[in-house]
Amino acid sequence: MSEKQGIYNKYVVSKVAGFIDPEAEYFVLRIDTDPHARAALKAYAHSVMKENRNLSFDLLTKIAKHEGGFLKIQKDDRTNEIPHRREENS
């Protein structure tokens, strides 16, 4: 069994406008093939839930697409709420 690589440069990340910030650090996760990436993204979605409910919901929905189509969510411990999208006017 060969040893897996640690962190290495595999991707170049830039803003849509084309700007590359040489000081920025990014960590790219491939959620369609890596269950560990989905677990990390799920933790992020729950962490950001209070600050950005729509992002949280969108991330959890994206994860569900790769986990059999079911949205597996838990209540936010801080608010006791289940994430859902809010309309801009809400």
Alpha helices by DSSP H, 1-90: 35-48, 53-65
Residue 66, domain member (yes or no): yes
Structurally, the chain folds into a number of domains equal to 1
Contact criterion met (CB below 8 Å) for 79 and 50: yes
Tokens for 29? 């996760």
Q: What pLDDT is recorded for position 73?
A: 54
Taking alpha carbons only, the member of 7, 47, 43 closest to residue 25 is 7
Which of these ranges, 5-14, 38-47, 55-64, 76-85, has the smallest mean pLDDT? Answer: 76-85
Tokens for 20? 């590359």
Residue 67, domain member (yes or no): yes
Query: 71: domain range?
Result: 31-90
The structure's pTM equals 0.69
Residue 14, domain member (yes or no): no
Q: What percent of the chain has pLDDT over 90?
A: 31
Tell me if residue 27 falls in helix, strand or coil: coil
Residue 8, domain member (yes or no): no
pLDDT tens string 17-44 = 888 888 988 899 999 999 999 999 999 9
Q: What pLDDT is recorded for position 77?
A: 55
